[in-house]
Amino acid sequence: METNQTKTNYPALYTLIVVFFFWGFIAAGNSIFIPFCKHYFDLDQFQSQLVDFAFYTAYYVGALLLFIFSSMSGRDLVTKWGYKKSIVYGLLFSALGAGAMILAVEVNTYLGMLIGLFIVALGFSLQQTAANPFAILLGDPKTGANRINLGGGINSFGTTIGPLIVAFALFGTTTAVSDSDIAGLPLNKVVYLYAGVGLLFVAAAALFYFSKKVPAGISNEPIEKANKAIRLLVIMTFLLGVTFAPVFSSYKSEEALKIEALQADLKNTQETSEIALIKSEIEEILHPLEQKRMMWLGGALLVVLGGLSFAGIQAKRKSDGWGAMQYPQLILGMIAIFIYVGVEVAIGSNLGDLLQQPEFGGFSSSEIAPYISMYWGSLMIGRWAGAVSAFSLMGAKKTLLLIALPILAFCLIIGVNTVAGNNMQTLYYYIFCVFLQIIMFFIAKDRPVMTLLVFSIFGASAMVVGLMTSGMTAVYAFLAGGLACSIIWSSIFSLALMGLGKYTAQGSAFLVMMILGGGIIPPIQGKLADIIGIHNSYIIPLLCFVYLAVFAVLVKSILRKQGINVDEAETAASAH
């Protein structure tokens, strides 16, 4: 690997930070895009969640393809190309996705939009694989963590304002637009949005490519072999396709077409008795159909959890060919990342539909942006506080920042939304949830196991409160899921990679693949919402937080058996 430069390359760093920003901007903007698409294209909750399926599945596919091709060549492709070129390729690929998105909007096709988002996220997958080590190469290695934390903070700021800008692009106004009027809205501003995003991707790629001061970051180190792991991941990918295919095809089945015909009759009927009869007939067909869909989606979840569990059992018997998967902390950590990304995305993506229910405010799709912004902003609140540990601060200074930064981040979210013309009065009291999070930080004391355990319990408790109540109490509780998620990613990453030695880079690649959880768990919650209601479907996030708490306990025991003192480990500073 090329030697690191001592002087920070600020032009390249600022450009890289813009890239971090757009990862968060587009990912959080999907939470507004989902309820909009639901009403614009007349979808059910599961179909609208395919936005997440397309976006986050691309991360898995991209990381898997990189790993397979790297294994075939015997060298890691990202370091073979160099971090600089890898980011350029990723930016150009995302620009291609932005172009596909524009084309899909012009022809008004939902499938085309999903394909566009998939291509954008494929580019993101390559960018993220190279971005963190590239940030370290842009200056003194000793201050590399600071640059990564800066990127993570800007990423979270992108998640805060992304929903606001996407909402304006979709609705073109700060005034309420009823959900029944959404289908008649023009999508020309979405074209402008993605044209701007695409041009920024190209501009960033050009700046990286033509800058002679930016190190290439090329390495010739061989990649560790893991043929059995590759075989398992390919089989899992095939089985995931097998489980999702019947769900997709069921929307064109004879039963689905009959339901569509009955729904058309329902719209044209005024007779009360006939309406009741048609609704009864729809329910009679729909209920077993939804159960079949849920069964197949449960099968997809089983493929991931079962496949990784199988790998752990087999690797324990004979480690040859499994690479990093021979370590139980990594296997459990892969499941944890899968669950974590799933719960983080599922809470935010289903929040829009929840807020439209009468008992939770009865908001229209055009009015939910402040709440979505606050949810994703909650991750920024926690990450700003978490970044304090990356600096050599002790005593009163550290204590002051741990208290001040979350409050400052909260005020920033309120301020940005107020400037955007949103009434934030109903969210002022959310500051008390932020105070609870600050207390959690002092309890955890920078210990990765305790951090993961405390914040997982905090998240599970918030989901219980949300499920047991309604109104703003429940809304605050579900929003607090963002505060719980904010600091969990780095703790899982740190614990899962402990003790992996030469397999650390490979283990990191496996963990990035598990961003797949954001593409599977939200649709599962969406389908469950179609069956038992959006409010009750939040039992899915509750179960996810419970697993994360269990992982914290199990991984500590595993690492102690390997002679690793977990309590002295420092949480990795990394943003996804």
Q: What is the pLDDT of residues 77-127, one digit of tens each?
A: 887 888 788 888 999 999 999 999 999 888 888 899 999 999 999 998 888
Counting runs of H as helices and runs of E as strands, what totals does the chain give? 21, 0
CATH class of 10-215+322-568: mainly alpha
Report d(CA 509, CA 37) in Å as an integer. 32
Angle between helix axes 395-419 and 369-386 (nearest 10 degrees) is 160
pLDDT class for 182, splitting at 50, 70, 90? low
Report d(CA 199, CA 501) in Å as an integer. 41
User: In the predicted model, is pLDDT for residue 59 greater than 50?
Assistant: yes
pLDDT class for 430, splitting at 50, 70, 90? very high
Q: What is the mean pLDDT of residues 548-574?
A: 76
pLDDT (0 to 100) of residue 3: 45
Report d(CA 410, CA 500) in Å as an integer. 38
Instruction: Please name every residue paired with 222 in a beta bridge, in sequence order, or none if there are none.
Output: 75
pLDDT (0 to 100) of residue 136: 64
Report d(CA 111, CA 103) in Å as an integer. 11
Buried b (16+ CB within 10 A) or exposed e, 134-144: bbbbbbeeeeb
Q: What is the DSSP letter of 265?
A: H
The size of the chain, in residues, is 576
Which has more pLDDT, 446 or 25?
Answer: 25
User: In the predicted model, is pLDDT for residue 456 greater than 70?
Assistant: yes
pLDDT class for 2, splitting at 50, 70, 90? very low
CA distances from 411 to 6, 405, 439 (A): 36, 10, 18
pLDDT (0 to 100) of residue 84: 81
Which has more pLDDT, 63 or 9?
Answer: 63
Most confident range (mean pLDDT) of 103-117, 139-153, 530-544, 560-574 is: 530-544
Q: Where are the domains of the chain?
A: 10-215+322-568, 227-321
Sort 511 into a burial class: Cβ within 10 Å, 0-12 / 13-18 / 19+. Answer: buried
For residues 62 and 126, the answer to whether their CB atoms sit within 8 Å is: yes
Give the residue from 75, 72, 67, 4 showing the smallest Cα distance to 220.
Answer: 75
Report d(CA 223, CA 227) in Å as an integer. 12
Q: What is the DSSP letter of 252?
A: T
